[in-house]
Amino acid sequence: MSEPVQAAVAGVLSTQDQALLDSWLDALWLEDGLAAPSLAAYRADLTALARWQAARAEGGARGGLLALTAQALRDFLDHRWQLGDKPSSANRRVAALRRFFRWAVREGLVTEDPSLPLQRARQAPRVPGTLSEAQVLALLQAPDTATPLGLRDRAMLELMYASGLRVTELVTLTLLQVALADGVLKVAGKGSKERLVPFGQEAAEWLSRYLTQARAEILGGQRSDDLFVTARGGAMTRQMAWVMVRRHAQTSGITVALSPHTLRHAFATHLLNHGADLRAVQLLLGHADISTTTIYTHVARERLRQLHHLHHPRA
């Protein structure tokens, strides 16, 4: 049995394919600054492809990843579709294949890119869940600010809603990234791309109260550069922040489905409803492509109807 087939049976990659993936992922990290979750997803996609190709070698297929043809890639995507891939998963695989073979062509490992003919699956528009302004107010007021942890939670919720940060961006903030007097955060977003994000006076006041009245007490004499801390002396985690949001949502009587992005969605939605420009919202959210920001436009339909009624001569 050949090495690729042995690898497929053993559930591991051939030495050649493993080295290829390692080199490609190193290039993505160094050149594009992709975050660990994105790199892990790409590795999983190409690993699945390599194992599928290795299993085909038992029936006479040639070589590893670099021997794949456009038809083989289509066959692989069809195979994954039969296994239940959703359009979003299929499109992520297509993106991974395109990036891998574009890199392989650039490095002179192949002469033609077999991923070029691949088509993206049709995908229904992704509609983010959000909260009304009244629900956000109830959520913000849920923590017991008479306690240090409640004051921390209120400051976190206020800052999330005021800035539209991703949860990961919020929990990884350090003291040096906060210009409290100027009301500005220096945020390292996806791909380690930095942006300046403003926040309002209300969030600044709660953040100031947390820093002066609660943070040191939570740390209990421990030292940390992290902005939002726990009694263990370390930073909050994404999971802890999500549990915190869900707990206060239950306290405030919010029964709609929540996600870790709920306040980020509410931030964008309410900005648009109050007349903000889509490009400005794109910059505040840190979206590289405005097409990502357009998922929020459906929630601003009422605002658009009001503008039409107000300005169109035939309204």
3-state SS record for 46-92: HHHHHHHHHHHHHHCCCCCHHHCCHHHHHHHHHHHHHCCCCHHHHHH
Token pair, residue 40, equals 């892990």
Give the H or E element holding residue 99. helix 87-106
C-beta of residue 130 within 8 angstroms of C-beta of residue 269: yes
Neighbours of 303 (CB within 10 A): 16
Burial of residue 268 (number of CB atoms within 10 Å: 0-12, 13-18, 19+): buried
Q: How far apart are CA 302 and CA 265, in angstroms?
A: 17
Catalytic residues: 166, 190, 261, 264, 287, 296
